[in-house]
Amino acid sequence: MILEASEIPFSYGTNRVLEDLTLQLQPGMTAIIGPNAAGKSTLLKCLSGLLRPEGEVRLDGVSLSNLKQDQLTRQVSFLPQDFSTTAVLTVYEAVLLGRVHQLGWRVSDDDTRIVDQLLEEMKLAEVADRFLNELSGGQRQLVAIAQSLAREPEVLLLDEPTSNLDLRRQYEVCTLIRRLTDSRGISTALAVHDLNLASRYADWVYVIQEGRLRCGGEPQSVLTEAMIADVYGVETHVSPGQEGRPLITVLGPVVSDSAQAPREQDAGDDV
Ligand SMILES: Nc1ncnc2c1ncn2[C@@H]1O[C@H](COP(=O)(O)OP(=O)(O)OP(=O)(O)O)[C@@H](O)[C@H]1O
Ligand SMILES: [Mg+2]
């Protein structure tokens, strides 16, 4: 399914956070990057229907405002950046809750099979009977991701899904999300700060800066030393990594104006 935002502005009260942003999520993986407070989470909330901006957000051409809530939650799953919960649930119950729109008066074999498989794949099976408040921060994040995946949505929106995970888990979880995105043919977007994760796993990268879409396109065209210096104020060395995808080595903060001297070519497709 294609989820597209056209010219959406968004303000919290009088604070304008998004400026007429237009972008499209299509089957495959899209990374949304940008500095703190750029508007990434706000954008994902608008795309999920949680916030209702002016302008239009359409799912396969149908405005979200014309979709019933249950149609929307069935098709679009959103994992917020702050996923903490006070609910007294076990890991198994929390992941099973992801199936809630499929559940009738009883849990089907399909539901238990899907939950069991996800718990296994995310290495959560051994803590399946533990309560959420007995888990580490990273384990809780894995449960939240598993719950999103259990929904089997057409569009999966994940806001910094790997922020609490150790280095290896970050790659394992992204590999799993990538595999499920491909095998289910779904459109997945994830907001991430780690540019190397974006580079390695995304088909497309969108850069949000001060509420605007700075540029977007394939990782090779977007993740350039010039873009990173301009947007993040950080000097990097970008070299071809796995499958020619950019491998970014951080050198340090840009120290002087001369480090930002006129660049021959800007990154990506300017919008
Ligand atoms: N509920 C809210 N009420 C008022 N202002 C908000 C609210 N949520 C976010 N903001 C403001 O909107 C701007 C964009 O915030 P947003 O959370 O979208 O940024 P972000 O790009 O996700 O940042 P981060 O990388 O830190 O998660 C910030 O200036 C923030 O202070
Ligand atoms: Mg955010």
pLDDT digit string (tens) for 216-266?
Answer: 999 999 999 999 999 999 999 999 999 999 999 999 999 876 545 555 555
Ligand nearest, relative to CA of residue 45: 1
What mean pLDDT is reported for the chain? Answer: 92
Ligand 1 centre from 251 Cα, in Å?
A: 28
Provide the residue range defining the domain that includes 215. 3-270
Query: Rounded to two decimals, what is the model's pTM?
Result: 0.92
Ligand 1 binding pocket (C-beta < 6 A) is 12, 15, 17, 34, 36-42, 81
Is the separation of the CB atoms in 33 and 195 below 8 Å? yes
- Segment 78-99 shows an average pLDDT of 90
Ligand 1 centre from 164 Cα, in Å?
A: 19
Ligand 2 centre from 98 Cα, in Å?
A: 22
Residue 199 CB coordination number (10 Å): 23
Q: Dihedrals φ, ψ of 136, to 5°?
A: -75, 165
Ligand nearest, relative to CA of residue 37: 1
Digit-coded pLDDT (tens) for 173-208:
999 999 999 999 999 999 999 999 999 999 999 999
Residue 175 makes CB contacts below 8 A (sequence gap 6+) with 201
Q: Which of 136, 124, 107 is nearest to 98 (CA)?
A: 107
Q: Output the domain CATH number for residue 134.
A: 3.40.50.300
Q: Which of 8, 11, 17, 32 to mutate for ligand 1's pocket (most ligand atoms within 8 Å of CB)?
A: 17
Does the pLDDT value for residue 269 go beyond 80? no
- Segment 77-96 shows an average pLDDT of 90
Tell me what percent of the residues of the chain surpass a pLDDT of 90: 84
> Hey, which residues does 131 pair with through a beta bridge?
90
In angstroms, the CA 116 to CA 207 distance is 36
In angstroms, the CA 39 to CA 61 distance is 24
Ligand 1 centre from 43 Cα, in Å?
A: 10
Ligand 1 centre from 37 Cα, in Å?
A: 5
pLDDT (0 to 100) of residue 106: 75
Digit-coded pLDDT (tens) for 139-156:
999 999 999 999 999 999
Q: Relative to the CA of 39, which ligand 1 atom is closest?
A: 18
Domains: count for the chain? 1
Q: Whose CA is nearest to atom 29 of ligand 1?
A: 37
pLDDT bin (cut points 50, 70, 90) of residue 70 is confident
**Which residues have their alpha-adjacent CB atom under 5 A from ion ligand 2?**
40-41, 81
Largest CA distance in the chain: 66
